[in-house]
Structure 1
């Protein structure tokens, strides 16, 4: 298995688990304050990551001195991207903010080419563009929904791009589980501050079970997203962010009873075709690159 294929699988796993987490949060938010859910889920996820890090020995492995600034910068970027995203989400249509966030494969690939010197051929640029077209067919943002709040969504895209570039700069000696602990802890801390303005409510056993499930999903999302950016080339790995749209459609149909129309199905087909084409090209790679221990 090549590093590119490994990174693509990690990215698909990240998008799947983050989308499943979003579905759990959507259910829980119908009966509980949103940031109460974020805090309780975050505490559980942080505990799960710390336990696994302890069992695997990652918790006792120190972060090399040369990487500490990058690890701190990545954690700050994760928290910094969360707040403008939430503010934009509450002031603009979901389709519009989704469309803005789908610029990430383009921005991350361009930044990787400009700042990290990674080669990006016309086939990879075409695959990214076709995937973006498929996403826009699905979400179909309206022009009237783009307003001043859209700038916050754009800011979130810029910060996430910086976060992912920082992740790629981490040396192989940095344990990914330890980075995930800082990520989960930082977002949970910000959620706790914001939740001070919300009255908390009692949690039923069913809600508690669903919250633990969400914690498991977000744990997978954090870890897989870190591993995805530490394997393979940016231009190959980042287009698989579009698979989150496919998972969203599947959950919408199977869980929330939604029925996609012809344009939505066309867009989903484009996204799926982009991913399959990229995977096909990677399976034809002649020699797998060695995997550094992480």
Structure 2
């Protein structure tokens, strides 16, 4: 077995519970980032703090267990590509959050299973049949309902969110390619470490310190949310099948709505909710279809 790579276990209930916690923590990342940006911190500094904190927690957690092995990668070029996609996605998402309600950015990200399905054709050589293509098209109709490019509520920041969606989808595809080849420790340290190094010269040029005790708490917590959320999600996928865990991500619309109302006093619009339902329906169909294909032992659809 590869160093640091833990074996799969069949503990479905625990895996689902961990994935549910991961979704809450992912919502906390976005909520903390939006709060810090609205409090006056530059968006790129918030991205840096998110990854620097993530790196500190990852090193503190993994080095006592695995030592310098956490820095060694068998696929360094793939790790760099994966890390760049994650950094780009986070940066664009935080820029979008500075102008858009958290429910809007969250709902747009619900199209990720749909985008992954499309990108898996050229990147992973997967075959996708007509019914899943129809589900993909339906999902994009839902995205159009959310962003409303034809109306006066359209905001240019939605381009940031859509671009972040594309990069995040590529990040998960690269993660799938590295599965079984790299340990979770290596992937966490590389993704957080490369992002931190890339942002140091940019973040320090316009540094702003928090101005209140609450600001300092959120400032420190955003990195913890990043590390613990990814740790929970990765462990969950070791304990339960991805096909079982995938629908859990849709519970984020509930937490995003709660965060929007409680923290930012914004309510989701009928277009956000309606478009979200269309995207979720399309995503659930793709999920159900993939499960059926796995049971049938075929990659046709």
CA deviation profile, 1:176-232 (whole Å, cap 9, x unmatched):
122112212233334333324424235543322222322221223444566789986
Alpha-carbon distance, 1:40 to partner:
3.2
Match for residue 112 of structure 1 among 101, 120, 137: 120
Give yes or no for contact 1:137–1:266 (8 Å, CA) kept in 2. Answer: yes
Give yes or no for contact 1:127–1:278 (8 Å, CA) kept in 2. Answer: yes
**Pairing 1:252–2:266 present:** no
The count of aligned residue pairs is: 284
Matches within 5 A, 1:7-26: 14-26=22-34
Give yes or no for contact 1:168–1:229 (8 Å, CA) kept in 2. Answer: no
**Pairing 1:46–2:55 present:** yes
CA deviation profile, 1:3-30 (whole Å, cap 9, x unmatched):
9999988776555322211111222223
CA 1:81–1:48: 2 relative to 1, 3 Å? same
Matches within 5 A, 1:253-268: 253-268=261-276
Give yes or no for contact 1:246–1:268 (8 Å, CA) kept in 2. Answer: no
Alignment partner, residue 4 of structure 2: none
Alpha-carbon distance, 1:38 to partner:
3.2
Alignment partner, residue 74 of structure 1: 82
Residues in 1 aligned to 2:150 and 2:244: alpha-carbon distance in whole angstroms = 30
Q: Equivalent residue of 1:78, what SS? A: helix
CA 1:78–1:38: 2 relative to 1, 3 Å? closer
Alignment partner, residue 176 of structure 1: 184
Give yes or no for contact 2:33–2:94 (8 Å, CA) kept in 1. Answer: no
Matches within 5 A, 1:1-294: 14-34=22-42, 35-57=44-66, 60=69, 63=72, 65=74, 67-82=75-90, 104-120=112-128, 124-125=132-133, 128=136, 131-142=139-150, 145=154, 156-201=164-209, 203-223=211-231, 243-270=251-278
Residues in 2 aligned to 1:277 and 1:106: alpha-carbon distance in whole angstroms = 10
CA 1:259–1:125: 2 relative to 1, 3 Å? same
Alpha-carbon distance, 1:160 to partner:
3.7
Alpha-carbon distance, 1:163 to partner:
2.8
Give yes or no for contact 1:58–1:177 (8 Å, CA) kept in 2. Answer: no
Task: Return 5+ residue gaps in structure 1 as ranges.
Answer: 290-294
CA 1:248–1:127: 2 relative to 1, 3 Å? farther
Give yes or no for contact 1:236–1:278 (8 Å, CA) kept in 2. Answer: no
Residues in 1 aligned to 2:196 and 2:145: alpha-carbon distance in whole angstroms = 34
Alignment partner, residue 5 of structure 2: none
CA deviation profile, 1:127-179 (whole Å, cap 9, x unmatched):
555555455444544556577x8877665555444333222111414111221
What TM-score do you get using the length of structure 1 for normalisation?
A: 0.68
Task: Return 5+ residue gaps in structure 2 as ranges.
Answer: 1-8
Alignment partner, residue 6 of structure 2: none
What TM-score do you get using the length of structure 2 for normalisation?
A: 0.66
